[in-house]
């Protein structure tokens, strides 16, 4: 649906084309387009002249002589088309304004959701659909802020509140995703959970985003075009909307797409954290560092525990997943076949692109599997060797990163009869992000010292 920048672009294109033009008569080909009296609409427009085109929110207003005003909304795919062709009507045409000098203004609407309503200069702003509109999202003034903060204080997701035209008008699905991404606010966060500074940031980035989109002619998404031969350029600047499956340019996390109120909603779970999901304890570190030891310790203290290695191996055994990975690799994959596992490793070493493709496929599947356990358990501890590489940071309220010397690591691997030769990266530092939620645990072979550090790290 065209949003404020797209409708502003339509206004700017339309205005010089029709100002000063007289209407000979109007033909309506889809009666439900007209929300006021149909016959009055057609009769009153005869002989009138277009004087101006204005906009508020997503609505356009066509001002005419005799103090008449046509209120119009493009909805999903409505589009004005100015033409001098001898056959101006096309299949999608819902209304046709016959102008002087064999000129025509058509309103084309493939999906037939657009509307027009005839009013007058004295009362068009009082028509219900206009009177209920809130402040334009890119024109919030200081004196508007106290009332808007109250309106945002609702137990509804902030994405839904941004789409509520009675609070801020002009924002639709595209720009709501863009604004929330720039504010680092999760779209599912309740309005009542936002701090005042969060709301002020929404106003700030709404103005920045919408004004920039207006300057670039809006976003041409799917089948919407503001005019024949005219495409908006802001879609080339979109940071979040429509980027599901791409990686966030800030943190490298894969953009998620979920549905909220029937609207596809794209966001970065690590930049836009849903704090209700920060409930698990994450355990990560290099091979042989003692991740399983800490996991078992937390299990003894009443935590529900998960091993992502075990979970991912179970996923590898599912036929659909096994087949998908085989297609990515171009070679048969079977986690229970040592010869095929060895071949898979060779392929991934030789082809980093295929390795990355497998990771991009399996990490989101594992992610959903882990999150399914969050709804059923309150105290959760999860061992995730590739926690930071998979960008799962947002799931955890605390992340225990195990630090271990090369000598202690080799000793641990020997104690569990692991192949030291398979762990040639022992000298490499473990890659982790220095977040506030990260707690470093020193593994020196002393269990009592290890457990004491864990207890200390988990204190609130």
Decide if 57 contacts 136 (C-beta within 8 A): yes
Whole-number Å distance between alpha carbons of 83 and 102: 9
Phi, psi values for residue 99, rounded to 5°:
-100, 180
Residues 6 or more apart in contact with residue 98 via CB below 8 angstroms: 23, 24, 25, 26, 27, 104
Phi, psi values for residue 73, rounded to 5°:
-130, 130
Q: In the chain, what is the greatest distance between 2 CA atoms, to the nearest angstrom?
A: 95
Decide if 109 contacts 2 (C-beta within 8 A): no
Q: Of the residues 263, 343, 369, 439, which is catalytic? A: 263
Query: Residue 226 is inside which H or E element, if any?
Result: none
Whole-number Å distance between alpha carbons of 307 and 383: 5
CA angle 140, 145, 150 (to 5 degrees): 130
Neighbours of 144 (CB within 10 A): 15
Q: Is-catalytic flag, 3? A: yes
Whole-number Å distance between alpha carbons of 15 and 10: 8
95, 94, 90, 454: which is closest to 290 by C-alpha? 454
Q: Of the residues 11, 58, 159, 243, which is catalytic? A: 58
401, 182, 138, 159: which is closest to 294 by C-alpha? 401
Structure tokens at 134: 């809130």
Q: Is-catalytic flag, 58? A: yes
Q: Is-catalytic flag, 40? A: no
Residues 6 or more apart in contact with residue 192 via CB below 8 angstroms: 153, 154, 155
Which residues participate in catalysis according to the annotation?
Answer: 2-3, 58, 263
């Amino acid at each position: 649906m065209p949003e404020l920048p797209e409708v502003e672009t339509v206004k700017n294109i339309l205005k010089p084309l029709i100002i000063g033009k007289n209407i000979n008569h109007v033909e309506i080909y889809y009666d439900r387009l007209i929300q006021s009296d149909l016959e009055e609409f057609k009769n009153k427009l005869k002989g009138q002249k277009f004087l101006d085109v204005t906009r508020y929110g997503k609505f356009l207003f066509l001002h005419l002589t005799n103090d008449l005003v046509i209120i119009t909304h493009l909805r999903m795919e409505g589009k004005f088309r100015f033409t001098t062709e001898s056959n101006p009507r096309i299949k999608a045409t819902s209304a046709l304004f016959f102008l002087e000098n064999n000129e025509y203004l058509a309103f084309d609407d493939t999906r037939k959701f657009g509307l027009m309503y005839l009013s007058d200069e004295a009362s068009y702003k009082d028509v219900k659909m206009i009177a209920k509109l809130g402040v334009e999202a890119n024109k919030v003034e200081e004196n508007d802020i106290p009332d808007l903060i109250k309106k945002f204080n609702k137990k509804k997701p902030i994405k839904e509140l941004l789409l509520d035209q009675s609070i801020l008008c002009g924002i639709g699905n595209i720009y709501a995703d863009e604004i929330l991404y720039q504010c680092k606010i999760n779209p599912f966060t309740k309005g009542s959970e936002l701090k005042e500074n969060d709301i002020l940031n929404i106003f700030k980035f709404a103005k920045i985003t919408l004004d920039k989109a207006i300057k670039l002619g809006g976003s041409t998404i799917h089948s919407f075009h503001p005019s024949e031969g005219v495409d908006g350029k802001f879609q080339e600047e979109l940071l979040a909307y429509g980027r599901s499956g791409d990686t966030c340019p800030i943190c490298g996390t894969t953009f998620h797409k979920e549905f909220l109120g029937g609207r596809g909603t794209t966001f970065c779970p690590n930049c836009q954290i849903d704090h209700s999901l920060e409930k698990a304890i994450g355990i990560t570190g290099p091979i042989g560092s003692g991740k399983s030891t800490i996991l078992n310790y937390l299990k003894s203290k009443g935590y529900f525990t998960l091993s992502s290695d075990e979970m991912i191996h179970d996923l590898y055994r599912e036929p659909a997943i096994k087949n998908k990975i085989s297609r990515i690799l171009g070679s048969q994959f079977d986690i229970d076949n040592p010869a095929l596992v060895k071949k898979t490793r060779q392929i991934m070493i030789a082809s980093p692109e295929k390795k990355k493709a497998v990771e991009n496929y399996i990490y989101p599947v594992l992610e959903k599997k882990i999150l399914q356990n969050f709804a059923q358990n309150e105290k959760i501890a999860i061992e995730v060797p590739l926690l930071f590489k998979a960008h799962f940071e947002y799931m955890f309220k605390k992340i225990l990163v195990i630090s271990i010397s090369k000598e202690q690591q080799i000793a641990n691997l020997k104690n569990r009869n692991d192949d030291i030769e398979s762990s040639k990266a022992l000298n490499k530092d473990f890659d982790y992000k220095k977040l506030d939620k990260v707690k470093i645990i020193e593994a020196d072979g002393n269990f009592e010292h290890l457990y004491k550090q864990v207890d200390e790290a988990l204190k609130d």
